[in-house]
Structure 1
Amino acid sequence: MTDTSMRLARDADRRIHEAGADDEPGVSELGTPLDLLLADASRGPIRRFLPGISGVKFAAGLARHPRTLAGRTLGLGAELARVQVGRSEIAPHPKDRRFSDEAWAKNPFLKRTLQSYLVAGEAARGLVADAGLGHGDEQRMGFIVDNLVEASSPSNNPMLNPKVLKRIIDTGGGNLVAGGRRFVRDFATAPRVPSMVEPDAFEVGEDLAVTPGQVVLRTDVFELIQYTPQTPKVRTVPLLIVPPTINKYYVIDLAERRSLVEHLVQAGQQVYCISWRNPDARHADWGLDTYGQAILEAMTTAQVISRQEQVAVLGICSGGMLASMVMAHLAATDDLDRVAAFSLAVTVLDQHDAGLPSALLSHKGAAASTRASRDKGYLDGRALAEIFAWLRPNDLIWNYWVNNYLMGHAPKAFDILYWNADPVRMTAGMHRDFMDLALRNALTKAGGCTMLGTPVDLGDIDVDSYVVAGIADHLCKWESCYRTTQLFGGDSRFVLSTSGHIAAMVNPPGNERASFQTSDSNPASAAEWLDGARQVNGTWWDDYAAWLAARTGPERTKPRKVGSARFEPLCDAPGTYVHDR
């Protein structure tokens, strides 16, 4: 480790440690969803559901509103009485698949059980609102209460779920035996959540990540993949994709006709993509500067091979944060003219009030988490997968609890879920640096942090930018993504997909229900932007390809081969690092 990097590490550790000494007011408004995951991953599963000081405030808030509490209690009792005499009209949402079996509506006992659950859950959630908590405490308590309510659903009980009861009769209990085996296998090792896909459902390089290409550069930190052109002519300026650092890169190259890489290559783009190494304890010191330098190396390689002075850059999630810091570094060193266009997908740079996950982040949690990763040398990606799941318990926990353990079925083969279960470790140095950025919301302040020795000022990034978010994203709140348009200095095109965090990225043509919203202006308020936005049918992939084509130069005859004399191909895509576990 260099003297400079040692000093930066000490400074970051000091800031995190000092922040941990006192949870000052307003902490609930700091941190992105990514940073919640990074802070929470070192904690045990039980500790995540302990309310702490928020629970004390919750109890005190209810005590301050005795009439409201009494009214809520009386209302609960009255509605439960109507349930018992068959006069309640409460019913689950028509699209709630947990209660799709007709027995929930026709069997008197099951109907009353279901209605009682719905009434009690509604009352429990109402108590959180009645307590009059601040934003952060309300979000924390809401998270805990929601998880408790979802866990207590009668559909999770094998003796109450009619589908499970029928399955027991049909199999003579064989479903519970098979489910028990799956339960033991799943909970024997991390992440201790139900499997969402079988470990052998896909094979990277055979079913996934199959767009033709070759690795043209391998360093200790990454491999660089150059994809084989699929059109007679290509745009002169290449595109470099910077994927997340906590997942494998192939979310943008899942399968044929579900690959953003394939779509862009077939649109005439020259595409390069970084495949990060899966680090271990030997690489504990790698931090923001290490990965920033890697992005610069990848840019240079793409420029040399394509013989161009410019490159376009697309950053995704945490890769987008890194890429943005690198862009600011290039601006500070008068080298930003290397970049023809800059794009971000599902990336939060302004970490103020980033929704539920940010509210769950605390300074003390961040300090404890960085200490744990420092001792181990890295943050285990499997722990992150567990936290992802508990943020959406209905879809990612209890759905598979019923399917895998109670029904005894194997989970369906779904490429996105396979990718989600194939995580990457994060070095202790990177973990520390990301937490430091979060606690200070440093990217929103000119000079609030540095990249490769230069101060970061996102306002100096004056190249055209394309920013994508998902309106249903539970990890990167779209309003937080939108605020990026107010941070950059150039013209930004903001696009809001109808999808969630991952589905916003995997958004291929052919889906008749796909659409996105965009606008010709970017007012200060996200709500104002949404009011003035227009809806466009189809996928943003086509819109992005057209936007990119206008900024990546004229067409030229495609290169005769991949690589160059200086960067000879090393192996076929998807390379070797993607297979590291």
Structure 2
Amino acid sequence: MSDAGSGKGEDEATNTRSPFLPSAEDLQHWTSVMARAQQMMSDFALGQADAEKAAAPLLDPANWLGSGGVRLWAEQSARMWEQGAAFWTSLAALTPGLTPPAPADDAKDRRFADPDWTANPVFSLIRQTYGLLSDQLLATTRQMQGLDEAARAKMEFAARSMTEALSPTNLAITNPEVIKRAVETRGESLLKGLRHMLADLARGQLSHVDPDAFEVGVTIATTPGKVIHETELYQLIHYAPVTKQVFTVPLVIFPPWINRFYILDLNPQKSFVKWAAEQGLSVFMVSWKSADASMKDLVWDDYVEAQVDAIDTVRDLLGVPHVHAIGYCVAGTTLAATLAMLAAKGDADKVKSATFLTAQVDFELAGDLKLFVDDNYLALLQQLSAQGYLDGRYMAATFNALRGRDLIWNYVVNNYLLGNDYPPFDLLYWNGDVTNLPAKWHRQYLVDLYRDNRLVIPNSLSVCGTPIDLRKIRTPAYIQAGREDHIAPLASVWRLMDHLSGPKTFLLAGSGHIAGVVNPPAAGKYQYWTSDNAAASLDDFLASATETKGSWWPHWIEWIAAQDSLKTLAKGARIPGKGQKKAIEDAPGRYVKQR
């Protein structure tokens, strides 16, 4: 009996494997995964070592503030997080079933959408501990005594950046979704994520989309037109008319030189350029050249002169006395300086109307970007710009850091930890298509405008030898702001209403710096608000504002038509390349493709 039982036990021991032990096949597979990962990292390291000049590494936003005090505080706070996590873990071990209460806004945090963050006691404890300690860190920062406003803003920004970086969702071992994906794919998701990460390290930039997903001029920026004029700084694109008659007054668009112009021409469904042409406007677009070492001495005067040159080129080409002008973001700031200079010289009538898209002239309320204009950051910029220009990847990283949770850590999790495929999103492709900035001008812009706020001080700044005063601008102005804009905050954009002297129309669009502008009527998204343009303050404007569903673009074209409704036939010089300015090349031109 005992011998029979013993034999049976031996058979079971031989034929039945513990469910907690991996099979030989599993062990072999995961060993292969580890070996492939090691090989990928080895190949990457060898490639970097062999490269004549290694690509710049991804910047760590936690190091940008450059303050020893901030770094010490961050280290102490990190230890506090670790000690707090250990406390809750030990307490939970002593008291079965105990879990700390969830933070008030925890349910709204998309980072913790996976059910295991709530259903699994271990991950629930990790999540709740992180939330409580993050809240405590932020509250402690806000309650610190002896800080001036600027120092407090830096500390709060550092606190937010650090808590976002310390999220347990950012680590594979503490993210249940990552763990499940790795098990389901037998490690292939981790390998794919590693491949994504190494590719980003090689190019020195966090990718939001596949860099090869779009091609400028083929699948993006495809509105028909011709480059009809170019300088060492910009190309001027003339787009083909699509109506038999066009407004006599043409439109010249100045996009920001810190980005590619085709944010306004992403695809036929989203293109402001295409839509404007369909409304009967003769549309011209400035395409700025990405800076190289030859542009090291460029300053603000050069960009103002370029705007005037573009305006005069269009006026001469079409034989018209004036143009409508649009200035987007920093190009809107420069457009204000251009208008002030023209007014001082008696040439204000060259511009019939000016539209400012999310633009600022008064930088007192410029938001978190002001954190990047202290002496430490300016010294860092000087080091990074030794070749005479600032690599656009650094500027992109700065803007990403302003929304680190959405634009950095979200993609770290999706691209690296989960190994997801990149989404084919044209807006994100544009966001990663960076441009280099002339170092001298970039520093001047940060110091004179962001730090010292001199543009709103009459005659404090001179442009092309002419002292400028924004109060002399009497050109009709259309001022658009985004309700959720973190680059040009609403309150800051409103200040244009205080400094310009001509008739002004203020419009508040739903969403932010990009989606609030690029919102075609056919999409049926968002809304906008209009109110009394004589309102004494932004609060007064908002108190009486009327909401309208959908795009603000139709409101704008009605305003344009009200400035001058005369039309002419779309022929002769109104056709790109048919006037005195012959076509140089097809739109979008070569400048926008240069890196």
TM over 0.5: yes
- Aligned twin of 1:268: 280
Determine the C-alpha separation between the residues in 2 that align with 1:297 and 1:505: 26
The within-5 A match list for 1:348-497 is: 348-370=360-382, 372-373=384-385, 375-438=386-449, 439-497=451-509
Change (3 A) 1:480 1:253: same
1:165 aligns with 2:179: yes
Determine the C-alpha separation between the residues in 2 that align with 1:236 and 1:43: 49
Change (3 A) 1:368 1:120: closer
Determine the C-alpha separation between the residues in 2 that align with 1:542 and 1:336: 27
Which of these residues, 490, 499, 510, is aligned with residue 522 of structure 2?
Answer: 510
Change (3 A) 1:411 1:58: closer
Which of these residues, 110, 116, 120, is aligned with residue 129 of structure 2?
Answer: 116
- Aligned twin of 2:16: none
Q: How many residues align?
A: 525
Deviation at 1:77, TM superposition (A): 8.2
- Aligned twin of 1:174: 188
Deviation at 1:134, TM superposition (A): 2.9
Letter in 1 for 2:361: L
Deviation at 1:495, TM superposition (A): 1.2
Larger RCO: 1 or 2 (CA < 8 Å, sep 6+): 1
Deviations 1:90-135 (A, max 9, x none): 4654442221121211111111111111111111111111114332
Which of these residues, 307, 326, 334, is aligned with residue 346 of structure 2?
Answer: 334
Deviations 1:327-380 (A, max 9, x none): 11110110101111001111111011322221443145335524653x321111
Say whether the 8 Å CA contact 2:70–2:155 is kept in structure 1: yes
Determine the C-alpha separation between the residues in 2 that align with 1:466 and 1:52: 44
Deviation at 1:422, TM superposition (A): 1.0
Change (3 A) 1:55 1:576: closer
Say whether the 8 Å CA contact 1:485–1:522 is kept in structure 2: no
- Aligned twin of 2:164: 150
Say whether the 8 Å CA contact 1:240–1:313 is kept in structure 2: yes
Deviations 1:187-233 (A, max 9, x none): 12323x3x101110111011111111111111111110011111121
Determine the C-alpha separation between the residues in 1 that align with 2:458 and 2:233: 28
Determine the C-alpha separation between the residues in 2 that align with 1:210 and 1:320: 24
Change (3 A) 1:319 1:233: same
Letter in 1 for 2:164: E
Letter in 1 for 2:580: R
Change (3 A) 1:54 1:177: closer
Determine the C-alpha separation between the residues in 2 that align with 1:520 and 1:95: 35
- Aligned twin of 1:66: none
Which of these residues, 188, 201, 204, is aligned with residue 190 of structure 1?
Answer: 204
Letter in 2 for 1:47: N
Determine the C-alpha separation between the residues in 2 that align with 1:370 and 1:549: 46
- Aligned twin of 1:3: none
SS at match of 2:136: helix
Change (3 A) 1:87 1:359: closer
Q: Using the aligned pairs only, state the percent identity.
A: 34
- Aligned twin of 1:22: none
Which of these residues, 546, 562, 571, is aligned with residue 558 of structure 2?
Answer: 546
Change (3 A) 1:174 1:91: farther
Deviation at 1:50, TM superposition (A): 4.5
Say whether the 8 Å CA contact 1:485–1:492 is kept in structure 2: yes
- Aligned twin of 1:308: 320
Say whether the 8 Å CA contact 2:479–2:504 is kept in structure 1: yes
Range moving further from structure 2, 409-418 or 82-91: 82-91
Change (3 A) 1:83 1:555: farther
Say whether the 8 Å CA contact 1:498–1:515 is kept in structure 2: yes
Bigger Rg over Cα: 2
SS at match of 2:287: strand
Deviation at 1:89, TM superposition (A): 4.6
- Aligned twin of 1:317: 329
Change (3 A) 1:141 1:129: same
- Aligned twin of 1:253: 265
Change (3 A) 1:557 1:131: same
How does the TM-score come out when normalised to structure 1?
A: 0.85
SS at match of 1:376: coil
SS at match of 1:341: strand
**Could you list the runs of 5+ residues in structure 2 that have no partner in the other structure?**
1-56
Determine the C-alpha separation between the residues in 1 that align with 2:191 and 2:88: 39
Deviations 1:23-82 (A, max 9, x none): xxxxxxxxxxxxxxxxxx9997553154445678999xx9xxxxxx9xxx9xx989x889
- Aligned twin of 1:47: 63
Determine the C-alpha separation between the residues in 1 that align with 2:182 and 2:58: 39
Which of these residues, 305, 308, 318, is aligned with residue 296 of structure 1?
Answer: 308
Which of these residues, 516, 521, 531, is aligned with residue 519 of structure 1?
Answer: 531
Say whether the 8 Å CA contact 2:189–2:420 is kept in structure 1: yes
**Could you list the runs of 5+ residues in structure 1 that have no partner in the other structure?**
1-40, 63-68
Determine the C-alpha separation between the residues in 2 that align with 1:480 and 1:296: 26
Range moving further from structure 2, 49-58 or 343-352: 49-58
- Aligned twin of 1:345: 357
Deviations 1:380-407 (A, max 9, x none): 1111111111211111111111111111
Say whether the 8 Å CA contact 2:337–2:470 is kept in structure 1: yes
Deviations 1:132-157 (A, max 9, x none): 43322222111111111111212222
Letter in 1 for 2:152: E
The within-5 A match list for 1:57-206 is: 85-86=98-99, 88-90=101-103, 93-132=106-145, 133-191=147-205, 193=206, 195-206=207-218
